């Protein structure tokens, strides 16, 4: 399978490479897509309180699902340090959070299971559509 992030593309990713590259996700590397082809994939995106996970099962938008965790909502991100006057003027205050956020360890396990062709035991359900909450 192919792994694509904002940082790197690996045509035939190994489990070790997958784990390492997912660990590098962050502000400047905000997404990862593990794909068998253009319409069959699992993807994650970085949010301030964790990671959202979506998948497409070989088709159009009707085969696109987002993972909903079966755990308590993740805690809000830690408060950001007080910014200097010029940072307040020039930088955005947008904080991106989701009710569907997972931890990095959960994302790594779900992606590793997907790569191995098996169902993950991470408690979650798949709802149709995109994660918009």
Residue 126 has pLDDT above 60, yes or no: yes
pLDDT in tens, 28-65: 899 999 999 999 999 999 988 889 999 999 988 888 99
Angle, CA 112 vertex, CA 111 and CA 118 arms, to 5°: 95
| pLDDT band at residue 86 under the 50/70/90 scheme | low
Q: Which residue has the tokens 């959202």?
A: 52
pLDDT value of position 117: 95
- 67, 130 contact by CB (below 8 A): no
Model-level pTM?
A: 0.79
pLDDT value of position 125: 80
Which tops the pLDDT comparison, 12 or 89?
Answer: 12
Q: Which residue has the tokens 């088709």?
A: 59
- 46, 27 contact by CB (below 8 A): yes
Q: Are strands 9-10 and 124-128 parallel, antiparallel or unpaired?
A: unpaired
């Amino acid at each position: 399978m192919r792994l694509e992030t904002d940082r790197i593309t690996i045509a035939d990713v190994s489990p070790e490479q997958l784990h390492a590259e997912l660990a590098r996700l962050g502000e400047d590397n905000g997404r990862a897509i593990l794909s068998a082809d253009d319409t069959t994939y699992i993807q994650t995106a970085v949010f301030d309180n964790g990671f959202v996970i979506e998948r497409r099962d070989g088709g159009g938008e009707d085969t696109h699902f987002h993972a909903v965790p079966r755990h308590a909502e993740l805690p809000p991100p830690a408060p950001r340090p007080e910014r200097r006057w010029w940072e307040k003027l020039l930088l955005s205050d947008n904080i991106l959070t989701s009710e569907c956020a997972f931890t990095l360890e959960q994302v790594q396990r779900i992606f590793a299971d997907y790569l191995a062709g098996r169902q993950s035991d991470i408690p979650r359900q798949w709802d149709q559509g995109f994660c918009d909450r």
